[in-house]
């Protein structure tokens, strides 16, 4: 059943409701009895992040978001890309002068 739930989660958008997920898992052969037993809630707690409303969830590792592990490398790559396209990339600097 774990494989069925993973396949269903992969096809869900990045933010979804638990009701949508339950409906979607039925297509993969998960029975209503299994859904009512709390299996989906346990699976969602392991593989998704619950948002401010109790019904809304977000995938833990969506494919289209940056991971924090290599964020610096991705920023450097973005800067190189912008420079190669002719843009100037500036960072704010505070200069102090003696009075």
Q: What angle do CA 22, 24, 44 make, to 5 degrees?
A: 50
Is 73 a residue whose pLDDT tops 80?
no
Helix axes 2-11, 18-26, angle to 10 degrees: 120
Residue with tokens 């843009």: 87
pLDDT at 21: 92
pLDDT at 67: 54
pTM for this entry: 0.58
pLDDT at 20: 92
Is 87 a residue whose pLDDT tops 60?
yes
Contact predicate 34/50, CB 8 Å:
no
> Could you give the percent of the chain with pLDDT greater than 70?
89
Q: Where are the domains of the chain?
A: 2-59
3-state secondary structure the chain: CHHHHHHHHHHCCCEEEHHHHHHHHHCCCCCHHHHHCCHHHHHHHHHEEECCCCCEEEECCCCCCCCHHHHHHHHHHHHHHHHHCCCCCCCCCCCCCCC
pLDDT digits (tens, 9 = 90+) for 11-37: 999 889 999 999 999 998 888 888 888
């Amino acid at each position: 059943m774990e494989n069925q739930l993973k396949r269903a989660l992969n096809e869900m958008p990045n933010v979804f409701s638990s009701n949508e997920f339950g409906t979607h898992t039925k297509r993969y052969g998960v029975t209503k009895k299994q859904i009512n037993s709390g299996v989906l809630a346990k699976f969602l707690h392991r593989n998704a992040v619950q948002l401010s409303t109790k019904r809304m969830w977000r995938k833990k590792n969506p494919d289209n978001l940056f991971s924090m592990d290599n964020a610096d490398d991705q920023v450097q790559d973005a800067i190189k890309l912008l420079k190669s396209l002719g843009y100037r990339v500036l960072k704010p600097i505070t200069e102090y002068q003696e009075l």
